[in-house]
Every structure is written in structure tokens, then in C-alpha cells.
Copies of this chain bind each other. A is one copy, B any other.
Amino acid sequence: MYLTDKKVAVIGAAGAIGSNLVQDLLSTGVANNIAMYDPFEAGLEGAAEEIYHCAYPGANVSWTTDVAKALEGATYIISSGGAPRKEGMTREDLLRGNCEIAKGLGESIRQYAPGAEMVIIIFNPADITGLTTMIYSGLKPGFVTTLAALDSTRLQTRLAQHFGVRQDEVTGCATYGGHGEKMAVFKGGISVQGVRLTDILAGATVGGRGMSAEEWSAIQEHVRSGGARIIKLRGRSSFQSPSHQSVEMLRGRITGGGYPWPCGCYFHDGPYAKVMMAADTQFTADGLVGSVPEGDAEDMAALQDSYEHLCKLRDEVIAAGILPPVDQWSAVNPHL
């Protein structure tokens, strides 16, 4: 009835994302054995009661304000437990506070859930909080990832709106690199009703509609400000889509594949080494394995820019003393 009965710990479960996550894990049939953790006890109990009142058959849902109890024996961990982004803040504004939280989470995972097989970090700036969690957790890099899909699904959404086609008729949408304002919105793999976007940019049309270079730039910009736009429209940051895509990532891990969007990946070496960034991934028994993005000169330049920005953010966190220098990471996590 559920894909797994292994324990899933949801960190930040009183929040909008976390409480939605628990519901979505159960509604999708992905997992039924869920420990809800949050330091805010009343809200946590209220969120848990809501789930109980859903009366999912076979559900085994507990709640606790003790992170040790939540993590103990967890195979899967999903954390939205950072401070949320407010209107006008960039993701990077959140950098230091949330990296401290990520460090604490990583240390707790190392202590209480060393057998975890997938950790998904949602709280922003997720590339850096995910990296920080991964380093301190002591887990294999492929066992820790970040939610990175939303930029790509926003790109898919916007292209579908532009061409007036069904959303799933737009394929191959992907943004790579960081999840912040410096994300690299690639055009290379995209097709609309089977017509390549690069051909459309060169004059082809779909249902009579084409796309100019200016329109493509505007769409890229729309995607980059996609999170801020949700805050403006709803008066709160997105929570339904981060939750659902995290559940789909977990489904991919459990079933061994089929997750179609970029995920946060750590590259040990190669051109994008020593950061966690959005890339296409394979879901293997050994965790997520990223592949180096490929694109035209323009796309690759944007990715290089994004990578350098991520390195800069990482170095800020190192300078703040939250992460050790890169050459000392392996002393903290032997898998690095």
C-alpha cells in the first residue's frame, strides 16, 4: 500500500512545508512510517493531529520535540527546518543562520541516524545548507541532496504559458548550478511539442507562436525570480511545490530512478568540484550520482558564473567558521 515502511524523519514538521510533506508522503503512497520533529510543540502537535484526522489507513505517524528521537533509525530525512525567506530577502541573506542550523542537523544525523540513505535539504540557500549538512553528517555525498527542481518546473510552467500548450508537452527543462539568483537556466535540452527550443529561437514556431531572444531572456529572468513571485502573490514563500517535489525525489530513491528533474549533487572533482549544485542525476544504490551539464557556450558561461557564485558563498561560510577549509573536509567526513 505504501512504497516503503522505512522510517522517514520530517524536520520542521510544524511548518508549512513540513506539515504538507507528511500529508503528501501519505497521500502519494510513498511512505507511512513518519516521525515529525519541530521545536515548536503546539504547532507540531496541531500538525500531527491534522494528519491523524486524515485517518490514513496503515499510517504510523509520531511527533516529538526531541530531534534524537525523531532521527533514531531513520532511513530517510527531509528537512525544511530553517528560517523562512521573507519578502525582499535574497536566499543569500539567510546564509549564515541557516548554515548554523544545517551544521547542527548534520551533527545530529551523524550521531543518531548514521544509517540514513537519503537526506533531502529544502531550506535556503539550499545549495550551501545541503553542502554543510552533508559534510557534518559523515554520510556519503550521494546520500545527501537538495531540492533543486522548482527552478526547472517554473521554467516548464512559463514556457507552457508562453506557447499555450499543456505543461507536460514542454520537455527537457533544466536549470543547473545554484538555486539562487545566479542559477543557470539552460535552453539546450528543451522541446515544445517535440520542437527544439533552439530551433524556435532560430525562427521555428509551435501553434503559430515563436520566441525572440528577448522573450527567452525575460523567461529566464522570470524563472530566477520565481520564488520571490510566489511570496508576492500568496504573501508567503512556496510550500506546496517544495513539499511535493521532495516526495517525488524520495520516490525516485526508493524505486531506483525515474525522477526527471535536477537534484543537488556534490562533485568530488571535475569542473564543478567541492560544491553542491543542481545537476541531472542517476539514482543508484550508492546514492545520487550527478552528471556534468552540457550546453552551448552561452549556457555553459551562465553555469560557470553560477558555480563561481556558489564557491563564493561556500567560502563565506568557511570564513565565518561554520565550515572548515576545503582541504580539511575529509577530516570531518571520510567520504570526502
A interface list, Cβ under 8 A from B: 19-20, 23-24, 27-28, 42-43, 45-47, 49-55, 57-60, 149-150, 153-154, 156-157, 160, 166-168, 226, 229-230, 232-235, 238-241, 244-245, 247, 261
Chain B hits for A57, CB < 8 A: 168
In the complex, what's the smallest C-beta–C-beta distance from A237 to chain B, in angstroms?
A: 10
Q: Which of A49, A57, A58 has the most CB of B within 10 A?
A: A49
In the complex, what's the smallest C-beta–C-beta distance from A126 to chain B, in angstroms?
A: 15
Main secondary structure of the interface of A (DSSP, over half): helix
In the complex, what's the smallest C-beta–C-beta distance from A162 to chain B, in angstroms?
A: 13
Contact A55 B235 (CB under 8 A): no
Beyond A166-B60, A235-B43, is A241–B24 a contact (Cβ under 8 Å)?
Answer: no
Q: How distant is the Cα of A239 from the Cα of B230 in the complex, in angstroms?
A: 20
In the complex, what's the smallest C-beta–C-beta distance from A180 to chain B, in angstroms?
A: 17
Q: How distant is the Cα of A58 from the Cα of B169 in the complex, in angstroms?
A: 9
A156's partner among B19, B55, B58, B261 (CB-CB below 8 A) is B55
In the complex, what's the smallest C-beta–C-beta distance from A99 to chain B, in angstroms?
A: 25
Looking across the interface, which residue of chain B has its beta carbon closest to that of A41?
Answer: B233
What is the copy number of this chain in the assembly? 2
Beyond A20-B20, A24-B23, A261-B55, is A50–B240 a contact (Cβ under 8 Å)?
Answer: yes
Taking A23-B24, A51-B240 as known contacts, 6 extra A-B pairs with beta carbons closer than 8 A to each other, sorted by chain A number, are A20-B23, A43-B235, A52-B153, A53-B238, A54-B153, A55-B153
In the complex, what's the smallest C-beta–C-beta distance from A53 to chain B, in angstroms?
A: 4
Contact A241 B59 (CB under 8 A): no
In the complex, what's the smallest C-beta–C-beta distance from A124 to chain B, in angstroms?
A: 15
Looking across the interface, which residue of chain B has its beta carbon closest to that of A242?
Answer: B53
Chain B hits for A59, CB < 8 A: 167-168
**3 A-B pairs closest in CB distance:** A46-B233, A46-B234, A53-B241
Looking across the interface, which residue of chain B has its beta carbon closest to that of A226?
Answer: B53
Looking across the interface, which residue of chain B has its beta carbon closest to that of A50?
Answer: B240
Chain B hits for A233, CB < 8 A: 42-43, 45-46, 49
Looking across the interface, which residue of chain B has its beta carbon closest to that of A47?
Answer: B234
Chain B hits for A226, CB < 8 A: 53
Contact A240 B46 (CB under 8 A): no
Looking across the interface, which residue of chain B has its beta carbon closest to that of A61?
Answer: B167
Looking across the interface, which residue of chain B has its beta carbon closest to that of A261?
Answer: B55
Q: How distant is the Cα of A45 from the Cα of B235 in the complex, in angstroms?
A: 12
Contact B53 A153 (CB under 8 A): yes
Looking across the interface, which residue of chain B has its beta carbon closest to that of A239?
Answer: B50
Contact B54 A244 (CB under 8 A): yes
Contact B234 A157 (CB under 8 A): no
Q: How distant is the Cα of A168 from the Cα of B32 in the complex, in angstroms?
A: 13
Q: How distant is the Cα of A259 from the Cα of B82 in the complex, in angstroms?
A: 38
Chain B hits for A168, CB < 8 A: 55, 57-59
In the complex, what's the smallest C-beta–C-beta distance from A45 to chain B, in angstroms?
A: 5
28 contacts between A and B (CB under 8 A): A20-B240, A23-B240, A24-B27, A27-B28, A28-B28, A42-B233, A42-B234, A43-B233, A46-B232, A46-B234, A49-B154, A49-B229, A49-B230, A49-B233, A50-B230, A50-B240, A52-B153, A52-B157, A52-B160, A53-B150, A53-B240, A53-B241, A54-B244, A54-B245, A55-B157, A55-B245, A55-B261, A57-B168
